[in-house]
Amino acid sequence: MFWINGFLNSFAFGAILFLLAVGFSLIFGLMRVANLAHGALFMLGGYIATSAVGLGFAGAVLVAGAACAVFGGILERTLIRRLAGRELAQVLGTLGLAFIIADQCLLVWSGDPIAQPAPEALRGAVGFGGIVFPAYRLALVALALVAFVGIWALVERTTLGARIRAAVDDREMARAMGIPVSRLFTTVFCLGAGLAGIGGALAAPIMSVYPGLDSEMLPLALLVVILGGIGSLTGALAGSLVIGLVYTFGQMLLPDLAYVILFLPMVVVLAVRPQGFFGRQAA
Amino acid sequence: MKSPGMKTLGILLLCAAAVPLVLPGPFYLSIATQVLVYGLFAVSVNLIAGYCGMVSLGHAAFLGIAGYAFALLTTSTGWPLWAAIPAAVALSVAAGALFGLVALRTSGLSFLMITLALGQIVWGIAFRYVDLTNGENGISMPRFQGLLASGTGLYYLCLAVTAGCLALVTILAGSPLGASMQGVRDQPRRMSTLGYDVWRIRYAAYVLSAGIAGIAGVLYMLLFRFISPHTLSLTVSSEAVLMVIAGGLGTTFGPVVGAALVVLLKNVASAYTDRWPTLLGLIFLFIIVVVPEGLLPGARRLMRTFGSRLATRRGPTPIPASPIKEARP
Amino acid sequence: MTALRIDDLHKSFGGLHVIQGVNFTVEPGERRLLLGPNGAGKTTLFNLIAGDLRPTAGQIRLADEDVSDLPTFRRAARGIGRTFQILTLFARESVIGNVIMALLGGRPQRWKPYGAVAKDPVLRREALEVLARVRLDTLADRPVSETSYGEKRRLEIAMALAQAPRILLLDEPLAGLSKEERGTVSALLAELPRNLTILMIEHDMDVALAFAEKIALLHYGRLIVDGTREEVIADPRTREAYLAQ
């Protein structure tokens, strides 16, 4: 029972990590921007969802996602774009923004953790062959898989996805072929920020929302991307799973050192394959 | 390979030595001492970020490791100061040697991300490993005796250490090894073609930088006599990067100038608002967007542009190359 | 003893096979021209020899020593010097500062953490000697950012010469130069000592053919013709490879 619960918790946490990390990875892959405000957007999504819970759980999640997507779009249009071609400045700009978002969240929602109840329908448990699972965590795993398939289909099967892939491969060539790269960037930034917001909203019932959640989640997202490989969708899924497992079992077995254990998969991957599981080697 | 500016350092040192005679009270002296401590921390970040082109967002880990080690060794195990200080710095160097093996597998943005993650892991240890670190409540140290008990004595000690480290870094910057670091920052590929071991040069800079951050950590404890996980947070690492950029990446005195700016703003702001993180973020954005080459060169450029617009209307003034614009992975 | 020996070298990026089984040898003191249309894999071959890329398969021997697994800086220490087709200079330094960096690269002194490089009289004197070989000694203290493109090209060569290489890889040393500058550069190439082995990529046929005794023709990652200047020029495959473009 201990192990089964552990695995389910790992998968649920991995699902949340996936929603957070996949947007980060896509933005990084397409635009070479390491968006350090991603953790703050995740937290913002969580807070907005707790305030919008009057609309029903699904409504709150959608509002959080939409708000973060709009916010991400504005951020890309006003800040990232202004710093185009200056990688370090872009990263530090998003870092400065992360501080501002986190501090304003503290101002608006105060310093106390806010708990968010799971939706009515998913509060119970589901039984399979005599074993009971909390329904909400199962739903999270299912949602993450749906998101994975959805994003995969978007990238691999749609015109938008084909344009994104072309721009990732060779930005100038894509521009020359008439692909509106600039609008594409905004779209991807909205998408990534929106997914982070949805992730935060969905995480609220199991983690609650509190100040510092952003800087707790951001390094985990970075670890996922380092493990899985920058810009890789499958990598984000695999990395989230690994970090979810390591973090959850670390907490259960060695609570004092859970953070140190997180370090291990990164060390192994960097030693063997610095570009990550599914990252492409730099030519 | 510019001339080391030792003369400037001497003049500044004399001015700094006169500061306690001028300042009205112990509160201001404490702020001046903070400038020196954070200035040394910024010097360590400048060594790796400015001279070697590898921006680390996890340097607070080294400050904190030395700080915690110093506090624990002197309070829990009762080591004397003269033994605890080198041990604490050595521990930071060891951590740097270990982290360097991991982080330097990559460069550019990946290096930045990995150092951030490593820094947060150390923060997590300080936060969660309560048996050792007393968790969120942190560790306090009793008052020191003798020289360290007086604010003036502490100020001069910090001044001597910071100026000494700054002089050493300045000598290094003009030396063959320092030139190699700057070469690796600007043209890593050419450097390996010329026979330089790029990895080892970066590693040397990183470990040395961790050591200097460790020394800053000891000074930090001598000054504040308290440490908690907050000292290891991303905010502290970011403040150091901000200091370096505000002062000018890869310049000799930039880090100390930047440290003075950030420490003063933080102290002034704390009298009016407790929204320091918001202010910090806004300063970040301001510097990056308006004066990316650092405040002093940036101010000079803005003055020139403004002046030339008023006087003649010939054309834009050439903008000097700014490190932050050129930094590439 | 051969200066350079390449055995069945392969390199692929993903599914793209850029170098497909190249074999050739270069004798000491030889001047070899590497020809081939764009995308033939010439620069990739240079990167493989210099160590910037690792071969997918095959061997590279330098003076009978297998260097295939050595990193770039160790190959440099064993005598490989190179220039880059795209200028790769230290733009913030002076002209002489660039050459000093190149000189230091081969000396244990490069690890010294004290003593100002800029004031080292030995380094300065030797750097001036190297600069004189490419007629840049009069511009020694000028910042690189204030030199002309042609001067930068010559500095690129000076840096490789400062390494005192046994084998020199020149990647399009005349790229983008005016007719006059081409004359200057080809004259200084002709002055290089005869015991220096040189492998050159160059599209300017007048200069390249006057310079090289032997030519290797690369086409889609394969060496299709390899022989003396006259043999390669006469070979119909040479014409085909270029006309096919």
- CATH code: domain of residue C6: 3.40.50.300
C87 occurs within a structural domain = no
| C111 and C215 fall within a common domain | no
Dihedral, CA of residue A58, residue A61, residue A65 and residue A71, to nearest 10: 130
Contact, C35 vs C216, CB < 8 A? yes
Q: B-C interface: how many C-beta pairs under 8 angstroms?
A: 101
| C49 and C121 fall within a common domain | no
C8 occurs within a structural domain = yes
- Six-digit token pair at B326? 């050129």
C139 occurs within a structural domain = yes
Domain that holds residue C201: 1-79+165-245
Mean pLDDT over residues B273-286, rounded?
91
C84 occurs within a structural domain = no
Asked if the ipTM is above 0.90, the reply is yes
Q: What pLDDT is attached to residue A231?
A: 82
Residue type at B269 in one-letter notation = A
B195: contact with C, CB 8 A cutoff: yes
- Which residue is associated with the tokens 């840096």? C159
| C41 and C23 fall within a common domain | yes
C212 occurs within a structural domain = yes
- Residue B226 pLDDT greater than 90, yes or no: yes
C25 occurs within a structural domain = yes
C75 occurs within a structural domain = yes
Decide which of C110, C137, C163 is a domain's last residue. C163
| C209 and C221 fall within a common domain | yes
Contact, C167 vs C62, CB < 8 A? yes
| C153 and C169 fall within a common domain | no
Q: Which partners does chain C have (≥3 C-beta pairs < 8 Å)?
A: B
C88: contact with B, CB 8 A cutoff: yes
Q: Which of residues 5-34 of A touch B (CB under 8 A)?
A: 28, 32, 34
Using the beta-carbon criterion (under 8 Å), do B179 and C102 form an inter-chain contact?
no
- Residue C165 pLDDT greater than 60, yes or no: yes
| C47 and C153 fall within a common domain | no
| C69 and C169 fall within a common domain | yes
Pairing type for strands C80-82 and C4-13 reads unpaired
Decide which of C133, C163, C193 is a domain's last residue. C163
| C176 and C151 fall within a common domain | no
- Residue B138 pLDDT greater than 80, yes or no: yes
Burial of residue B297 (CB within 10 Å: 0-12, 13-18, 19+) is middle
pLDDT per position as a tens digit, B294-310: 887 788 788 888 777 66
Instruction: Locate the chain B residue with the closest alpha carbon to A272.
Output: B105
* Helix, coil or strand: residue C14: coil
Contact, C59 vs C9, CB < 8 A? yes
Where does the pLDDT of residue B328 fall: very low under 50, low under 70, confident under 90, or very high at 90 and above?
A: very low
B140: contact with C, CB 8 A cutoff: no
Q: How far is C222 from chain B (nearest CA, A)?
A: 25
Using left for φ > 0, alpha for ψ between -120 and 50, and beta otherwise, residue C17 falls in beta
* Helix, coil or strand: residue B125: helix
Contact, A100 vs B281, CB < 8 A? yes
Mean pLDDT over residues A205-223, rounded?
93
Angle (deg, nearest 10), helices B234-247 and B276-290? 30
- Cβ atoms within 10 Å, residue A81: 14
- Cβ atoms within 10 Å, residue B273: 9
Q: What pLDDT is attached to residue B326?
A: 39
- Residue A280 pLDDT greater than 70, yes or no: no
Q: What span, in angstroms and rounded, lies between the C-alpha atoms of A17 and A10? A: 10
| C73 and C172 fall within a common domain | yes
List CB contacts of B25: < 8 A, sequence separation 6 or more: none
What is the 3-class SS of C91-128, one letter each residue?
CCCEHHHHHHHHHHHCCHHHHCCCCCHHHCHHHHHHHH
| C159 and C171 fall within a common domain | no
Residue B47, CA distances (Å) to A252, B5, B44, B170, B294 in order: 40, 16, 5, 10, 16
- Find residue B208's DSSP bridge partners: none
Where does the pLDDT of residue A126 fall: very low under 50, low under 70, confident under 90, or very high at 90 and above?
A: confident
- pTM for the model stands at 0.92
- Find residue C6's DSSP bridge partners: C24, C60
pLDDT per position as a tens digit, A77-89: 999 988 888 888 9
Q: What span, in angstroms and rounded, lies between the C-alpha atoms of B160 and B36? A: 10
Q: What span, in angstroms and rounded, lies between the C-alpha atoms of B265 and B253? A: 19
Q: What span, in angstroms and rounded, lies between the C-alpha atoms of C119 and B286? A: 39
| C64 and C101 fall within a common domain | no
Q: What pLDDT is attached to residue A2?
A: 76
**Run of H or E residues at C59:** strand C57-62
Our count of domains for chain C comes to 2
Contact, A69 vs A89, CB < 8 A? no
